[in-house]
Structure 1
Amino acid sequence: MDHNKHFIGRRNLLKLGSMRALGLTAAASSLLWRVKPVHAAELSAIAPSSLSPSAALQKLIEGNQRFVQHHPQYPDQSELRLREVAQAQHPFATLLSCADSRVPAEIVFDQGIGDIFDVRIAGNIATPEAIGSIEYAVVLLGTPLLMVLGHERCGAVTAAVQNEALPGEISTFVEAILPAVKRVKNQSGDLVDNAVVANVRYQIEQLQRSPLLMERMQSGKLKIVGGRYDLDTGIVKMIA
């Protein structure tokens, strides 16, 4: 009887020891899982707020290349990143792009949370409200790069080319694009595609009328560029 009690007690002790060992292993694994992303963040590349305008542009270009080649890295989309930008944001680029559902900036440029300050409006037009949002991003948040991104077969540009009566407030963005259409009306080639490129250039001109943006440009803290997104290939081509 005493022998049996001793045997049972010993077996329970071994069982308890095994459970404790498993608990320690699980705790260690959990700790390791939490440490890894923190360590990765500490070893990450240059912080977005410290990027030069040229480096910021290169970062966008490289991200688009990954997207086109179907090798996205999905950066800055972790729980750690979510907590990191919860109280403050320092996007490395500001984009004035079309509201078209087929041109999502973070996906097209393979970026993540807090990387891009998106200003999206049909026809990527520089309305006073859009300019104000951009000035906020560039001046107060310090983004070193501003890109105006048009895209192939843009519906807003097409509407401006056709210049027909439209319902509601839809005609407002057509009026903002018409000056660009007039510039290429007599050019050879596809009128809509020519107008897409001309519209990017025209909207950049409107942005350059902002004293706040021009001050940042002249000090070398901001670069303004244009781009055209190809709906068929996913490629963003720079517009000179």
Structure 2
Amino acid sequence: MSTERPAPQQVWDELRHGNARFIGGEPHHPRQDVDRRHSLAHVQAPRAALFGCSDSRLAAEIIFDVGLGDLFVVRNAGQVISDSVVGSLEYAVAVLDVPLIVVLGHDECGAVRAAIDSTRSDAPPLPPHIWRLIAPIVPAVRRVLRAHATATPESVDPEHVGREHLRDTVAELLHSSDVISDAVAGGRLAIVGANYRLAEGAAVPDIIVGPATNAGA
């Protein structure tokens, strides 16, 4: 297994190509055999870290058509930043030396829907652990509501809220971690915030920070 560190752009291009194969229904299912499993028994060198929603439809290795040991994956409902998330991603950057973090949201997100519903005047109280999980999404809801004078929690576009929350998540990750923000500033790390389209299977970039673009190979 190669230990040469790839450039952020190279890894993002690899993931884009894998997603294109998945969208087209022609996945390669690479690096999923017995030999690969054995080679990873005592060491890992993932190509990227991925922080995404826990939704059962967001199976990262399938979406990007990669294999065992390729992605260091962190997930929770609504891809909400927490100490454990930041610590896990710092481990990926500082110890595993990944050159790329993908933050993956998606349409039809239950956590986003719950955050929107919680802003209704007649919203019932949520169980405390669920409320603490979705509370970081509520500022995105309120920002979208303020930007559209006629919008209500019943009519607001959840995809617009999801995109706002995705951008908030990337910003909060950079704000919360010197390890990650310094790696971005030093050109060693890129962060791609993307929205996954459930019906199409496409991971569509919304924000890219650091040395990567959505152009090229």
In structure 2, list runs of 5 or more residues that go unmatched: 149-154, 208-217
What aligned pairs does 1:4-153 form with structure 2 within 5 A after superposition?
Answer: 47=2, 49-153=4-108
Q: What is the aligned partner in structure 2 of residue 221 from structure 1?
A: 188
Determine helix, strand or coil for the equivalent of 2:78.
helix
* Larger RCO (CA within 8 A; separation ≥ 6): 2
1:171 to 116, 128, 131: 131
Q: Percent identity?
A: 36
What RMSD in Å do the two structures reach over aligned CA positions? 1.5
Please say if 1:183 is aligned against 2:150.
Answer: no
Matches of 1:108 and 1:48, distance apart in 2: 24
Q: Which residue identity does 2:22 align to in structure 1?
A: F
Please say if 1:193 is aligned against 2:159.
Answer: yes
In structure 1, list runs of 5 or more residues that go unmatched: 1-40, 42-46
After TM superposition, the score normalised by the length of structure 1 is 0.78
Q: What is the aligned partner in structure 1 of residue 210 from structure 2?
A: none
C-alpha contact (below 8 Å) 2:53/2:105 kept by paired residues: yes
Cα distance per residue 1:102-129 (max 9 Å; x no partner): 1100001001100001100000011111
Q: What is the aligned partner in structure 2 of residue 236 from structure 1?
A: 203
Query: Normalized per residue, which structure has more strand?
Result: 2
Q: What is the aligned partner in structure 2 of residue 11 from structure 1?
A: none
After TM superposition, the score normalised by the length of structure 2 is 0.86
Shift of 1:78: 1.0
> Aligned residue pairs: how many?
195
Matches of 2:156 and 2:24, distance apart in 1: 28
Larger radius of gyration, structure 1 or 2? 1
C-alpha contact (below 8 Å) 1:96/1:124 kept by paired residues: yes
Matches of 1:87 and 1:204, distance apart in 2: 32
Determine helix, strand or coil for the equivalent of 1:169.
helix
Q: What is the aligned partner in structure 1 of residue 211 from structure 2?
A: none
